[in-house]
Structure 1
Amino acid sequence: MRELRNYYSSDYNLLFKKYASLSQIIFGVLALAASSQLSIPLKPVPITFLTMMVSMIGLVYKPYLAFATVGIYLICGICGLPVFSKYNYGIEYVMGATGGYLVGCMITAPIISIIKNRPLLKLYFCGQFVRRCSAQIRNKLRVRSGFEYPLSYKFTHISESNISQKFWPVAFCCFIGHIIIYFFGITWLSQFMSLNNAIYNGFIVFIPSGIVKIVIFSYLFSYTKSKAQI
């Protein structure tokens, strides 16, 4: 009887994991489609929030789930569902100027998922460096002020928070992801124009918006993660 119960229990757990993975993929595809519609129209490649959602999927999902989610998103668009920017769809859109960025997203998501748990690759020492610098500043202010509670006391709580510990790894993962996406995007875009124009129109014009998106997303993600204690 116990063996029979264990047998059905294992089957139930396996079925639950399969449905959980399927629901993650469906939610990820819908989120990618929604983020693609939030765009700033530029030529030849618009600015969208798709890269941020790809980073989110890479940071939350396992590598195989991240790859499958972005891959199914591309397949849905190729098959005729309006999931790309401005509700575009079809193989013609994927083979167009933005195709390299879409392929880069599919490769970036599992790579971010792989490196997110590698402390050395995430440059964890950046967080340590920031905390040490803030500690030295507090000590100097404590000595100069001559009070038991230094003037920098209000900054103590912030530096002791683990938000900074999580911000730098997240920002590093997003930075690596964007480099991969831009590499594939520029390589693909160079087939439609000269390499210099592809670098300018496909990378340089996106640098300011990319930095702003990475900083805001990394802070919000690290803040939410620290509050949820994930």
Structure 2
Amino acid sequence: MTKEQLKLRSMIVTALFAAIIGIMAQLIIPLPLVPITGQTLAIGLAATILGSRYGLISVLLYLAIGSAGVPVFAEFSGGISKLIGPTGGFLVGFIPAVFIIGYYMEKTGYTYKNAMIANTIGMLITLSFGSAWLKISADLSWMAAFASGFTPFVIVGLIKAALASWIGILIRQRLITAKLLIPVHTVEKEKSF
């Protein structure tokens, strides 16, 4: 198989992840102001499986599709108003989160331990962006913004980080074995789990 064919397969998997994020966004536990969704789990999976470059592309594609009005955001919503509304900071926070998760994994190796550290950092980045945006857009105090946009999501975020790490490492190894994903580095620490 040529390098171009492998790259095409990686791009197809990347596009599929944009769709997976949209599907998982519909898994919702309603809370006042900000619901718990499956988006952050999907973001962690995308970063853990695809790495910084393709993970970032999948998130940017997801955000572009949603901003164009396709109902891929939580509660089957879409449009630019979601990005600039009270919960838009969580969506925008996916961009640095997915890149940093993937970058951390590329630099430290694709192990469960490294994935858990990276996904926890990514979760904290997303929650921080979301809370800061919530403070500004909803005109809340810092205490109220963190009470609404950060604190209720930490425990669930750690559970999602653990799931994204475990499932992500497993799927990544299988995709590479099936030649559906190109490893970022020629020497990767993929073996230890």
Q: Which range, TM-score by smaller chain? A: 0.7 to 0.9
Quote the residue 2:184 is aligned against.
none
Q: CA 1:113 to 1:78, structure 2 compared with 1: closer, same or farther past 3 Å?
A: same
Cα distance in 2 for partners of 1:226, 1:69 equals 19
How big is the alpha-carbon RMSD for the aligned residues of Structure 1 and Structure 2?
2.5
TM-score normalized with structure 1 length: 0.68
Structure-2 residue corresponding to 1:162: none
Give 1:207's match in structure 2, choosing from 154, 158, 161: 154
Aligned pair partner of 1:168 in 99, 113, 134: 113
Q: How many residues align?
A: 175
Q: Is there any run of 5+ residues in structure 2 with no aligned partner, and where?
A: 178-189
CA shift, 1:212, in A, is 2.4
AA of the residue aligned to 2:14: I
**1:23 lines up with 2:18 in the alignment:** no
1:45 aligns with 2:30: no
Percent identical: 26
In structure 1, the partner of 2:46 is 57
Aligned residue number for residue 185 of structure 1: 130
| Residue of structure 1 equivalent to 2:100 | 111
Distance 1:30 1:59 in 2: 16
SS in 2 for 1:116: helix
Which amino acid is 1:185 matched to?
Answer: G
AA at the equivalent of 1:202: G
Read off the aligned partner of 2:60 and give its amino acid letter: G
Question: What does the per-residue CA deviation read over 1:179-200, in whole Å, with 9 as the maximum and x for residues that have no partner?
Answer: 1111111111111122111000
| Mapping 1:5-154, distance limit 5 Å | 13=2, 15-119=4-108
TM-score of the superposed pair, with normalisation by structure 2: 0.80
**Aligned AA for 2:130?**
G
Which amino acid is 2:150 matched to? Answer: F
Q: Structure 1 regions of 5+ residues with no counterpart?
A: 1-11, 123-164
Please identify the structure whose Cα radius of gyration is greater: 1
Distance 1:24 1:225, change over 3 A: closer
CA distance in 2, matches of 1:29, 1:182: 20
